Amino acid sequence: MVWTVPHALCTTTALACVLQCFLCQRGRQSCRCPCASPELSEESPAEMVKMTKSKTFQAYLPNCHRTYSCVHCRAHLANHDELISKSFQGSQGRAYLFNSVVNVGCGPAEERVLLTGLHAVADIYCENCKTTLGWKYEHAFESSQKYKEGKFIIELAHMIKDNGWE
């Protein structure tokens, strides 16, 4: 038997149909996603999966959670659950710090003096439209800033809220 998701929004990719978010798979109670109660079906996987998105990204985040997307091409960038802080300053204004991101490429690391001291950072860009979004903290030279290592800054000017923000 194959799990099928009876809602059109949830049939974006084979991966989305097979690997739903952790809450959808485990708890189902706190998720507002229409795919939270899948039905068993005898359909073949080829019949079950329909591509409905007009663009192809490396990764799609679950439709049942609040996400951030690239304002220029709408590629998914981060899940709201990965947000660490809204109190950061980017080179073009306010920025958010995320634990992890998707559909993002990373340039070479370089040392920069930022507001909080010397850091080794690498610019990050949208893999789809190649827009520079912010940077990744590769190394913090001050002990009080070590928590930033491996984290990502995305400037508000380059992202938009998607899914479930009503």
Residue 164: per-residue pLDDT: 64
β-bridge mates for residue 109, sequence order: 122
Q: Does residue 147 carry a pLDDT above 90? A: yes
What's the one-letter identity of residue 135?
A: W
Among residues 122, 113, 119, the alpha carbon closest in space to that of 142 is found at: 119
Long-range contacts of the stretch 139-142 (C-beta < 8 A, 24+)? 139/109, 141/117, 142/116, 142/117, 142/118
Residue 151: per-residue pLDDT: 97
For 57-84, the pLDDT digits (tens) are 577 776 667 889 999 999 999 999 999 9
Residue 63: per-residue pLDDT: 65
Distance CA 158, CA 56 (A): 19
Residue 65: per-residue pLDDT: 73
Q: Which tokens is 151 given?
A: 């984290």
For 100-120, the pLDDT digits (tens) are 999 999 999 999 999 899 999
Residue 66: per-residue pLDDT: 86
Element (H, E) at 48: helix 45-48
Q: What are phi and psi of 143, to 5 degrees?
A: -60, -35
Distance CA 48, CA 55 (A): 20
Q: What percent of the chain has pLDDT over 90?
A: 52
